[in-house]
Structure 1
Amino acid sequence: MKIDYLTKVGAAFTAFFTPSSDGLIGGKPAPTELVSTKSVAIIGAGAGGTSTAYFLNNYLQPPHLKYKHEHASITIFEQSDRIGGRCSAFRIKNPGQPDEFVEVGASIFVKVNHHLVDTAKELGLEIKTLDDEKVAIWNGSEFVFEESPWKFWSIVKGLRRWGFAPLKLQRILKTTLNSLLESYTTPDAFDSIAGFAERFNLHKVAAQFTDRFLNEQGIGKLYSEEIVEVATRVNYGSNLNEIHALGALVTMAADDALQIKGGNFQIFEGMLAKSQANVRLNTKIARVRKLQPEYEGADPRFEVTTTTGQKEIFDQIVIAAPIEATNIDFDLDMPPLPKVNYRTIHATFVRGHVNPDYFHAVSAEKFPTHILTTNSDAEFTSVSIQVKLSNGETVTKIFSPKAVEEDLLDRLYTNRTWVKRKEWKAYPELAPIPELDSSSELKPLTASEIHQYVLKQHLRKKEDEAQKAAQAAWGQVEVVPGVFYVNAFEPLISTMETETIAGKNVARLMRDKILGYCPAEKCKSRV
């Protein structure tokens, strides 16, 4: 059994992808044509927005294209004063030692997160491993499991408690992850998340709650509640009856945890720098309005207005933030977008000394790095040691569904030098997504079936309603012609790496529209 980095608190966590080879050798437009320069506005400078800019710039440059030409000018609008979105960190002074950085949100990535790993290497960032960190599971009154410093003994302890459930789950994970691996080898761009999920056989596992799925797969209740649910609680703030099975499986696929020294946000700062985009920090968008085409058949253009009244015209728009949270007036004749609720997470950072009596422990020195909790009487979701300071203090991060009260802090710590709090919409509620089944059309009624007319009509209505609900839930990537929504991906899965996957997909769609021809990677004849 492997439970290393089951959940590194607040991580945007897992991944499952293999390296991609873009291999875009460049298709050929008509020899006498010169593709005009398109202006692109990206709203949001988090993982999705910066990766969209990064990949779009790459796709429109040699060697992907044979000839260098400025096909697009990119402008990124960010309402805050920093890059990285939900990925952020803060600095801590460590007496006599170099300063440390503590991740607020997206805490880790893993070796198979190749977009993140490859970009970090390209930028020359220092990657540090977290493979010596130990996990324990707390049920509110006692530790039900503690990882041993010896891997073999941890496996033996796990087999004794949960039997062969971990092995069963590994087989299920392998099947799901093999499907996900294919997403890195395809050159295709997807205009809907439903299309992406169906193409890689993810739609069925994402269409049911995890508790039911695990039960149907023969995974024991004890393992489900003490391992899988522990992971979904800390990674997505959800119990097994609140999250679809794909989300739960992804949380269980983490291993070889990594961080960027100085903060993971540096990856996205680097992506943005490489994109050559014009960056507007501290700039909030008030309105995006679709303009009337200049002539019949012309592509629409868009007017972007900031809260200070500045206006600019763009050919294409990328929304790289949850639409519900932007408070932007989108005057675009958009179809109904999926309603995605985001979990409110409270992160409490404490510098001081943990109280061993709270955990019935002999000393705090023997504490595991991460204490995760079952769905029980536990007063928090997790307590995680972020930094061990030279003066013997630690900086710990508490995750909880509500604000931690002073009484709990008094009992959890023998002393506190300082306390910092952060409340934010950390990740979406990954509710089951209705399946889209294009082969499920009702057949026309025959004369012999006329007596079943009323029943058939009822079924047809129910089917139509299900189809509409599914389409609304999944969302379209290009919500209206020329406007792309990166966060359409999030109801399927939400991680740092998958935000870059979504950004890359949007960049491919935009590339095809900008160039107006079929790139070589999507054509049968390679040149």
Structure 2
Amino acid sequence: MSLSNLSVKALLVLGICLVGRRSLASASEPPKKIAVIGAGIGGSSAAYFLRQEFGPSVKIDVYEAGTVGGRTATENVKGHDYEIGAAVIHPLNLHLKHFVETLGLSPRAEVKTKMAIFNGKELTFEESDWFIVNFIRMLWRYGFNSFRKPGWVEGILGKFMSIYQYQKLGYSFSSVEQLLHAVDADKLLNQTLEEAMLADGFSQVFINDIVTPNTRINFGLNAGLNAFVGVVSLADGTSGLWTVEGGNKRMSAGLLELSKAELIQARVISLKTSPSKSGAAANLYEVNYVGDSGSSHSLYDIVIIATPLHKGLSDISFSGFSPPIPSHFPGNFQQIVNTLVLGKLNMSYLGTDQKASDFLMSDILTTDNKALPFNSLASVGPVKVPQGYALPPASESKVWKMFSARPLSEEALGAIFESREGVWVKPWLAYPSYTPPLRRTPPFVLHDRLFYVNAIEWAASCMEMSAVSARNVALLAYNRWHGQTHKIDQEDLHTRLRGEL
């Protein structure tokens, strides 16, 4: 049938269909350019997830002023690299496991470790090679507290793990509170770990002797930190932890390559809105930066910030935004000094008369003693170890890692070590100071198409949380770009999607 024979009604229907299809095509066009600021695990995984969501045509630029990997970093000691940043991966860290498998990386060969607890005067607990010995010791002093703890932690993490299913189905959240509410964990932000555990029947002595040493090594605080980050800390105290062969920073480098993003070695100094030259209703974002070749700028449809917007960590200014966006959000990041010492331990410092040749404790945790100069002391292996490698006894010179709130004095180092061949110091503004109640976290959405990965750190800071946030932000960007509001901040997801999940 020719067009001339079509009725006016048919032409109208055809015209409406064509207009509708054209409008749909226009709405579904991907963005042309996306910027990611920061190339740590948050920024690199954001680039990877953005590529998955928006496809091959979008150009992704990743800005990094320092080293790719961010707070995953290594330090070279006498020809061998050692983790000096984020160190361990939990068996339930599904995003990180996916990255390692997709990138063809492998877990580092397992190195056997043994734990002891030090109160500043003596070792109050030493782990045995024999399970039954450890069982009897813990049962005698703490009853069933220590055996209830793994189930208590896994119960909370089990609920949190529903986030992976929500993300698989494309759901996203515009705030940390909304995300944690969806996994029934929001109430843990405004109570302490101590309060939560006491309410569930754990004893004060168990919290002081066993729980606090764990939170001190991971977050430099006692059990008075917020309960959610406390649970994350306790998860890091379980078995099955691992690290990437060659260093965890390899994940960031691999994800950038896999995302086919362009790495721009430059410091972003400001962001502002810029009218679109194409006449589109939405403005573009102008990213101004300084690199080796001087100052420059580029325009983007979407911008992802994956570096902490806090004093001492970034100084990005924002102009032309309504409401205004602060350069620094309120709250403080906590300094943790990571010190590597190649030397021999002074056994008398630990208050033990054991021979150094017989002392095989690798991880020495500490109770909440203000007089102690460090939070933890651990004998560590390099990021590349041969199969069958074992940590040497304390009688041999080896690498010890210490976390402390302040740089260790020469006097302190002299007391802790019998001899030293070298000292390497790395201070970090490592994570927020987790003191509840948490009034409000920064938002994931800073502006229409401007998103903030590091908002998640105010709930808990670790590599997997950064990856969860990166996935959430990539989904937010996609859902908001395509107007899929039904995929954002939905209530009762578990109940409504029970059949689908």
TM over 0.5: yes
State the Cα distance separating 1:150 from its structure 2 match. Answer: 1.7
Residue 253 in structure 1 maps to residue 251 in structure 2: no
CA contact (8 A) 1:233 1:239 kept: yes
- Structure 2 counterpart of 1:215, from 182, 193, 198: 198
Residue 484 in structure 1 maps to residue 451 in structure 2: yes
- The amino acid of 2:192's aligned partner reads F
**Partner residue in 2 for 1:39:** 33
Q: How does 1:144-293 map to 2 (within 5 A)?
A: 144-186=124-166, 187=169, 188-241=171-224, 243-254=225-236, 255-281=239-265, 283-292=266-275
- The amino acid of 1:393's aligned partner reads S
- Structure 2 counterpart of 1:85, from 70, 76, 79: 70
Residue 319 in structure 1 maps to residue 305 in structure 2: yes
Residue 113 in structure 1 maps to residue 104 in structure 2: no
Cα separation, partners in 2 of 1:206 and 1:519, compared to 1, 3 Å: closer
CA displacement 1:365-424 (0-9 Å, x = unmatched): 313111010002333111111135799420111111111111111121121111111111
Aligned partners of 1:165 and 1:29: how far apart in 2?
64
Aligned partners of 1:344 and 1:225: how far apart in 2?
23
Q: Which runs of 5+ in 2 are unaligned?
A: 1-20, 382-390, 491-495
- The amino acid of 2:175's aligned partner reads S
**Partner residue in 1 for 2:336:** 345
Which has the higher mean CA deviation after the structures are superposed, 118-127 or 341-350? 118-127
Aligned partners of 2:22 and 2:127: how far apart in 1?
59
Aligned partners of 1:367 and 1:259: how far apart in 2?
21
Q: Give the total of aligned pairs.
A: 446
Aligned partners of 1:482 and 1:185: how far apart in 2?
24
CA contact (8 A) 1:131 1:257 kept: no
Q: How does 1:410-421 map to 2 (within 5 A)?
A: 410-421=414-425
Aligned partners of 2:158 and 2:43: how far apart in 1?
27
Amino-acid identity (%): 27
Cα separation, partners in 2 of 1:520 and 1:401, compared to 1, 3 Å: closer
Aligned partners of 1:181 and 1:131: how far apart in 2?
28
**Partner residue in 2 for 1:460:** none
State the Cα distance separating 1:213 from its structure 2 match. Answer: 2.3
- Structure 1 counterpart of 2:432, from 428, 431, 439: 428
What is the SS of the residue equivalent to 1:490? helix
State the Cα distance separating 1:297 from its structure 2 match. Answer: 6.6
CA contact (8 A) 1:352 1:417 kept: yes
State the Cα distance separating 1:129 from its structure 2 match. Answer: 4.8
**Partner residue in 1 for 2:403:** 399
Residue 373 in structure 1 maps to residue 366 in structure 2: yes
What is the SS of the residue equivalent to 1:110? coil
CA contact (8 A) 2:30 2:54 kept: no
CA contact (8 A) 2:453 2:466 kept: yes
CA contact (8 A) 1:131 1:256 kept: no
- The amino acid of 1:287's aligned partner reads S
**Coordinate RMSD, CA, aligned:** 2.7
State the Cα distance separating 1:37 from its structure 2 match. Answer: 3.7
Report the TM-score when normalising by structure 1: 0.79
CA contact (8 A) 1:369 1:384 kept: yes
- Structure 2 counterpart of 1:364, from 356, 366, 371: 356
State the Cα distance separating 1:339 from its structure 2 match. Answer: 1.8
State the Cα distance separating 1:246 from its structure 2 match. Answer: 1.2
Aligned partners of 2:194 and 2:343: how far apart in 1?
38
What is the SS of the residue equivalent to 1:262? coil
CA displacement 1:204-262 (0-9 Å, x = unmatched): 12211222222222211111011111111110111222x11111112112331111121
CA contact (8 A) 1:340 1:428 kept: yes
Aligned partners of 2:88 and 2:22: how far apart in 1?
42
CA contact (8 A) 1:140 1:379 kept: no
State the Cα distance separating 1:516 from its structure 2 match. Answer: 4.9
What is the SS of the residue equivalent to 1:246? helix
**Partner residue in 2 for 1:499:** 466
Q: Which runs of 5+ in 1 are unaligned?
A: 1-27, 62-68, 94-98, 435-469
What is the SS of the residue equivalent to 2:372? coil
CA displacement 1:271-323 (0-9 Å, x = unmatched): 11101001012x11111111245588711211111133211111111110111
What is the SS of the residue equivalent to 2:337? strand
What is the SS of the residue equivalent to 1:240? coil
- Structure 1 counterpart of 2:316, from 312, 328, 331: 328
CA displacement 1:322-345 (0-9 Å, x = unmatched): 111211112234356752311101
Aligned partners of 1:485 and 1:32: how far apart in 2?
29
Aligned partners of 2:99 and 2:353: how far apart in 1?
42
Aligned partners of 2:304 and 2:246: how far apart in 1?
29
State the Cα distance separating 1:347 from its structure 2 match. Answer: 1.3
**Partner residue in 2 for 1:309:** 295
Residue 143 in structure 1 maps to residue 129 in structure 2: no
- The amino acid of 1:317's aligned partner reads V
Aligned partners of 2:284 and 2:342: how far apart in 1?
51
- Structure 1 counterpart of 2:412, from 388, 408, 415: 408
- Structure 2 counterpart of 1:60, from 46, 51, 54: 54
Report the TM-score when normalising by structure 2: 0.83
CA contact (8 A) 1:29 1:517 kept: no
CA displacement 1:108-159 (0-9 Å, x = unmatched): 1122212112211222223125462111100000111111112232122111
What is the SS of the residue equivalent to 1:415? strand
- The amino acid of 1:306's aligned partner reads Y
CA contact (8 A) 1:84 1:268 kept: yes
